[in-house]
A and B are shown apart, each in its own frame.
Chain A
């Protein structure tokens, strides 16, 4: 009565239990990441008026570009979701195709963001200009770094999917990655609202 016998169902659930734990742990990790972004958002909120006489967001940002970036990222989340459906159906070609598109869209987003940064720097607005610019570059840049690491991670998974086929551990990694990708999407929605839209409010 003090122990339960070694039963078969216990053995079979070993993999599932591990999966369940990893998924849960990854959610907890995402929450910690979210808190890091929370700090950066708070800092931005404090700093957005601290332009020390320099131009503010309304003068510097272009809402059109931000909107295009948003749409690209949202679309990439959509294709990422389609890729996950394909992964659940164990359709390797579709997985490679949909996640390939996700990867490409992520890259496009990143290049647009880099171009935006370059233009700002070209206008003499850098990290060092004032507190407002510091907080802008760090907040948006941190999101960009997350996208970069997401792309790196996705690229590696796709490499292994191509090499090893769609096995259970790789599907699990894809599931984690898609969580990460949707998470970055949500963070971007907040950036779009707080940084870009509110500058024109």
Chain B
């Protein structure tokens, strides 16, 4: 009976180690704190109606940023723990982590950074910017978008759930390679948490990608042909097409692994005719394209930034687009370079090696189009531009390391060494994360109504780039010296410790950079009147998103603009600006179905992890019920009449300009000024208490 009710759950699943207790307390405090704050400010209704059930891609985009930002801190904490262990664990010292715990941390770090940070930010940016850039009011299927977001949140909760129940995460590496991830070698619930957090969020990604393809291909403004599309939209389109191509492979592969663990099938087992290397093949068929799925929107961000801040058109739009298409098509046929050492034979290795080296060509073309755009441009070195320049430097280093790794004989030496770790961090941090930061700084005025503090942004950038080089240059050296990845201890005689200590210091500088970014956001909020963007076009932008006010109304455009050129908004400005015409607007209604379906999906995963079959069945029925309810609801839209639109626009135009702020300043505050203000504010509270 007990087994029927709660499955494998027992008192032993509750937190009992320092990190699970610490993690649980931290999460409980966060949740309780949030609940108290919302109740105290009476914001529950507002939160539910305006945000959680919203289908507005702009709102969903911001929610992606918030959750993704939180997970960035969570994954960053993992990174610091790994660096610290490696700096300590030399010779007789074993460091402060057990080997098993260390393995769980690097697994979680990889999963969190790829699935729950990078993907979240990329989806957030696409959500917010793409509809604005193509002149659309919402997405092709607003409900699917909301569902995709909530499934992602379900995955986020799942990946952190092990703190509270189970006490272990997968200790298998971020791709849970077989047969290590089978029940034979990983009998605990760690791999099950891995399976369900990725499965739930991965299905959300597939749905989201389908939605964006529909939106980009079917909802562009009149006159915007494919060859007039803004480059960020192009990057997003390429990325989403890759996502629908490979995410089904991930879903299928994870299901097969799940069957192996749960039903006792023999796909990836060592017995019964199973083939573990098939798992490696299948997972990398998804895994390699995945990094390009993250990279392509980031390329698009850089194109937008370079053109705006060089005040020039992109040099060769066609090469840029063909470059992105080239990258995305080649990216689908290189997966085997992740396991040249598997022994597939010289010819197979040679083919995949050549394909991998070939990718350098379209990528280089892309970089050259950006450099050529800057040539003779009137360059403004604002923060987004700095992130771009940092990216170019890191991308060149990481790219060259990648070409080295793509040559099978060299790879036999460097396979699974820290050289590889340094390579992919250079690409993903330098390419994806810097792109995300650049994009956030660039579009922040659009989504918040005020710019970010430039001074603090520059501090953050310099901390990041210096810290990054300090943290990862030693890893290239260590890799060549023979240090393997996923290593929790090494002999003192290797002489590696100074390098690892240097890496740790670099990591700490990166963390200071992250802190600087948080300070930057807070300081910008404090000075929002000074930094306010009243025109909706703070950078003299070139694409349609800048034709809307900042932040844009829920319907984006009063009337859909007609496009006749690339850089549509720039041309409009030359012709006298964007003219307002009022018309009836159809908008989708808010819905909570996405939340309910996601909760049921989460419970299905939870039920499978702890083998609570009644929960699985009940949740499955609940999910079906919600889906049927939603699909057969024909009244999912409402209309705003032209009159109402005009009234709203007039009201927005009349809003009193900049109310007096407590902090009166003429220029953006620096770090010292920020600390002074925070301290004096804290002092005033203390004095009042007395």
Chain A residues lying within 8 Å of B578, measured Cβ to Cβ, are 2-3
Q: Does A112 contact B (CB under 8 A)?
A: no
Closest residue of chain B to A28 (Cβ to Cβ) is: B210
Q: Could you give, for residues 1-40 of chain A, a 1 whenever the CB lies within 8 Å of some chain B CB and a 0 otherwise?
A: 1111110001100100100111011001101110110011
Q: Does A160 contact B (CB under 8 A)?
A: yes
User: How far, in whole Å, are A127 and B575 apart by their CA atoms in the complex?
Assistant: 69
Q: Does B273 contact A (CB under 8 A)?
A: yes
Across the interface, do B642 and A47 meet the contact criterion of CB distance under 8 Å? no
Q: Which of B217, B252, B628 contacts A36 (CB 8 A)?
A: B252
Chain B residues lying within 8 Å of A160, measured Cβ to Cβ, are 632
Across the interface, do B219 and A127 meet the contact criterion of CB distance under 8 Å? no
Given A35-B249, A127-B259, A24–B217 Cβ distance below 8 Å? yes
Across the interface, do A14 and B632 meet the contact criterion of CB distance under 8 Å? no
Q: Does B140 contact A (CB under 8 A)?
A: yes
Q: How many residues of A contact B (CB 8 A)?
A: 46
Q: Which of A50, A167, A169 contacts B273 (CB 8 A)?
A: A50
Closest residue of chain B to A26 (Cβ to Cβ) is: B210
Given A1-B575, A3-B579, A32-B210, A128–B266 Cβ distance below 8 Å? yes
Q: Which of A6, A25, A40, A129 contacts B581 (CB 8 A)?
A: A6
Q: Does B282 contact A (CB under 8 A)?
A: yes
Tell me the B562-614 residues at the A interface (CB within 8 Å).
562, 572, 575, 577-584, 586
User: How far, in whole Å, are A27 and B274 apart by their CA atoms in the complex?
Assistant: 34
Q: Does B206 contact A (CB under 8 A)?
A: yes
Across the interface, do B253 and A39 meet the contact criterion of CB distance under 8 Å? yes
Of the stretches A71-79, A86-94, A131-139, A186-194, the one at the interface is: A131-139
B457 to chain A, nearest CB (A): 33
Given A35-B249, A160-B632, A127–B263 Cβ distance below 8 Å? yes
Across the interface, do B273 and A43 meet the contact criterion of CB distance under 8 Å? no
User: How far, in whole Å, are A168 and B90 apart by their CA atoms in the complex?
Assistant: 71
User: How far, in whole Å, are A10 and B559 apart by their CA atoms in the complex?
Assistant: 11
A157 to chain B, nearest CB (A): 8
* Dominant secondary structure of chain A at its interface with chain B: helix
Total A-B residue pairs with C-beta atoms closer than 8 Å?
A: 135
User: How far, in whole Å, are A31 and B206 apart by their CA atoms in the complex?
Assistant: 11
B597 to chain A, nearest CB (A): 15
User: How far, in whole Å, are A52 and B274 apart by their CA atoms in the complex?
Assistant: 10
Q: Does B114 contact A (CB under 8 A)?
A: no
Across the interface, do A25 and B560 meet the contact criterion of CB distance under 8 Å? no
Chain A residues lying within 8 Å of B584, measured Cβ to Cβ, are 6, 11
Q: Could you give, for residues 41-61 of chain A, a 1 whenever the CB lies within 8 Å of some chain B CB and a 0 otherwise?
A: 001001100111000000000
Q: Does B251 contact A (CB under 8 A)?
A: yes
Across the interface, do B218 and A24 meet the contact criterion of CB distance under 8 Å? yes
Across the interface, do A21 and B624 meet the contact criterion of CB distance under 8 Å? no
A32 to chain B, nearest CB (A): 4
Across the interface, do A47 and B214 meet the contact criterion of CB distance under 8 Å? no
Across the interface, do A21 and B267 meet the contact criterion of CB distance under 8 Å? no
Q: Does B272 contact A (CB under 8 A)?
A: yes
Chain B residues lying within 8 Å of A130, measured Cβ to Cβ, are 266, 272-273
A145 to chain B, nearest CB (A): 11
Given A127-B264, A134-B266, A29–B210 Cβ distance below 8 Å? yes
B635 to chain A, nearest CB (A): 10
Chain B residues lying within 8 Å of A173, measured Cβ to Cβ, are 631
Q: Does A118 contact B (CB under 8 A)?
A: no
Q: Does A108 contact B (CB under 8 A)?
A: no
Q: Does A97 contact B (CB under 8 A)?
A: no
Closest residue of chain B to A29 (Cβ to Cβ) is: B210
Across the interface, do A131 and B252 meet the contact criterion of CB distance under 8 Å? no
Q: Which of A10, A32, A50 contacts B244 (CB 8 A)?
A: A32
Chain B residues lying within 8 Å of A169, measured Cβ to Cβ, are 634
User: How far, in whole Å, are A78 and B251 apart by their CA atoms in the complex?
Assistant: 32
Closest residue of chain A to B568 (Cβ to Cβ) is: A2
B21 to chain A, nearest CB (A): 39
Q: Does A65 contact B (CB under 8 A)?
A: no
Besides A5-B583, A43-B278, A169-B634, 17 new A-B residue pairs in contact (Cβ under 8 A), listed by A number? A4-B562, A6-B581, A6-B642, A21-B218, A24-B214, A24-B217, A28-B244, A32-B206, A33-B248, A36-B249, A36-B252, A47-B275, A127-B259, A129-B272, A132-B273, A138-B267, A156-B632
8 pairs, CB–CB < 8 Å, chain A vs chain B: A3-B579, A10-B583, A28-B213, A39-B248, A39-B253, A134-B266, A137-B265, A167-B634
